[in-house]
Amino acid sequence: MYMFEVEGRRPLRGTVRASGAKNAVLPIMAAAVMAGSPCVLHNSPDLSDVRTMSKILEGLGATVERTSDGSLVIDPTTIDSHVVDEMLMRQVRSSIFLMGPLLARMGKVQVSYPGGCDIGQRPIDLHIKGLKALGASVEEKHGHIIAERLRWEGIDIHLDIPSVGATENIMMGACLADGVTIIRNAAKEPEIVDLQTFLNAMGAKVRGAGTDVIRIEGVEKLHGAEHTIMPDRIEVGTLMIGAVITGGEVTVENAVAEHVQALTSKLREIGAEVHFNGHGITVRGKGRPRATDVKTLPYPGFPTDMQPQIMALLSIADGTSVITETIFDSRFKQAEELGRMGAKIRREGRTAIIKGVPALSGAMVEATDLRSGASLVLAGLSAEGKTVVRGIHNIDRGYERFEEKLESLGASVKRVSDNRR
Ligand code: UD1
């Protein structure tokens, strides 16, 4: 077990490159299961979630190799099992994405309830509803979900909620179904567009990703493909906030401006400068940020995955801010930890009221999930004195070489062993 020791009050300055997106590579790795020949995924981030997903694929019979230039080579042709390892499944929520692809390829799948971040209730009813509609029987036995393909036919489905995962699962399964599938009220996140690009490179016929209606024309088989994973917009956003919270200036290369528009407009509103050029995004913090209100929404709204990080920033803003979390019901876990650092945050259900203080002070805090962990590191970067962030395995799930990247920008973030665990 490791923890981060962060020495605060050092402005981040310099240029850093965004890694490939965790939330794009994980479903794409699941999609690769359906290919009839090997797939190469360039710009795959080296994250613990990606390593766990690789082990899951290997457990199914695939081979997965990481090359020295950051690509993953997946050979799914030797897959001979439909059973997803229970212990690994508990470690990474995205393992649920294997349901659609394995049903399409093997005709059956056995999974257990997925793990991942503890950010409140995360049901999978919409995934199951879609797969049942495509023609699977689904039953629950001794904590396992066992699904079998009875038919596999195109459907016209309206999602009650634009769930990212359910959209992706149905989209992947439908690629090998007979006829046309239409997903209405689909999620519009950029990672879904990346998945569409990969599926089409495999020979699928998918269009509409990025809008709320996705149309998939089933094909008979899919082949291996080469694809470059999109940049991680949440990592980009985290680094952008890093610049503002420390009053520094950071350029994030390989960032897509359109993917971080909601955050950009908030940062400008609170007084930061944000510039785009062909290579990336430059963010400059200018004095104490002003308070503002934030409401999380599906893309292109303000992402729930950036909510803990902006809470850290608003805790040192001039004035009172209100954050409303509409996507997950228990995603203010960082508030209490930020409180240990001197933040004044009151929670009322899905709303947090943040009375900005002039500065935070270093303390020992616990990262209880991925993004709250990032928020505590950001708070530590701006705080007076030393902050110790424990539970950083949660941060390693989704940030590639986080401390190295921050140190390259002038921060002091040391990974040290946590002997008290
Ligand atoms: C994905 C992201 C996660 C992000 C989230 C919202 C990945 C790997 N993870 O998670 O980082 O925080 O989108 O942007 O891409 N819901 C149901 N039933 C379901 C599925 C979802 O009620 O079957 C609800 C959830 O409880 C939640 C909302 O739908 O309230 C959105 O969840 P969803 O978009 O599915 O999130 P994930 O795909 O799990």
Token pair, residue 249, equals 């200036």
Q: Report the sign of the C-alpha dihedral through residues 204, 23, 304, 261, in that order.
A: negative
CB 388 within 8 A of CB 366: no
Ligand 1 pocket, residue 131 CB under 6 Å: no
Task: Give me the phi and psi of 286, to 5 degrees please.
Answer: -130, 90
Nearest by Cα to 162 from 119, 205, 211, 203: 211
Ligand 1 pocket, residue 296 CB under 6 Å: no
The CATH number fitting domain 22-228, selected from 3.65.10.10, 3.40.50.2300, 3.30.360.10, 1.10.287.130? 3.65.10.10
| Nearest ligand 1 atom to alpha carbon 122 | 26
DSSP reduced 3-state for 330 = coil
CB 317 within 8 A of CB 270: yes
Same fold, 2-19+231-417 and 22-228: yes
Protein residue closest via CA to atom 7 of ligand 1: 23
Alpha carbon distance 257, 236 (integer Å): 10
Ligand 1 pocket, residue 25 CB under 6 Å: no
Token pair, residue 83, equals 């059973």
Ligand 1 pocket, residue 125 CB under 6 Å: yes
Ligand 1 pocket, residue 305 CB under 6 Å: yes
Ligand 1 center from residue 121 Cα (angstroms): 10
Q: Does domain 2-19+231-417 have CATH number 3.65.10.10?
A: yes
pLDDT, position 115: 61
pLDDT, position 142: 82
Residues of the chain with pLDDT below 70 are 115-121, 421
Protein residue closest via CA to atom 8 of ligand 1: 23
DSSP reduced 3-state for 31 = helix
- Global pTM? 0.97
Protein residue closest via CA to atom 20 of ligand 1: 124
Ligand 1 center from residue 312 Cα (angstroms): 23
pLDDT, position 119: 46
For 342-380, how does the pLDDT look when each residue is reduced to its tens digit (9 = 90+)?
A: 999 999 999 999 999 999 999 999 999 999 999 999 999
Ligand 1 center from residue 174 Cα (angstroms): 20
Instruction: Return the active site residues.
Output: 117
Domain coordinates in residue numbering, the chain: 2-19+231-417, 22-228
Ligand 1 center from residue 189 Cα (angstroms): 11
Nearest by Cα to 170 from 179, 181, 185: 181
The residues, ordered by sequence, that sit 6+ positions from 33 with a Cβ below 8 Å of its Cβ are 57, 60, 62, 76, 79, 98, 101, 102, 105
Nearest by Cα to 4 from 412, 420, 421: 412
Task: Give me the phi and psi of 71, to 5 degrees please.
Answer: -105, 150
Q: Which amino acid is at 361?
A: S
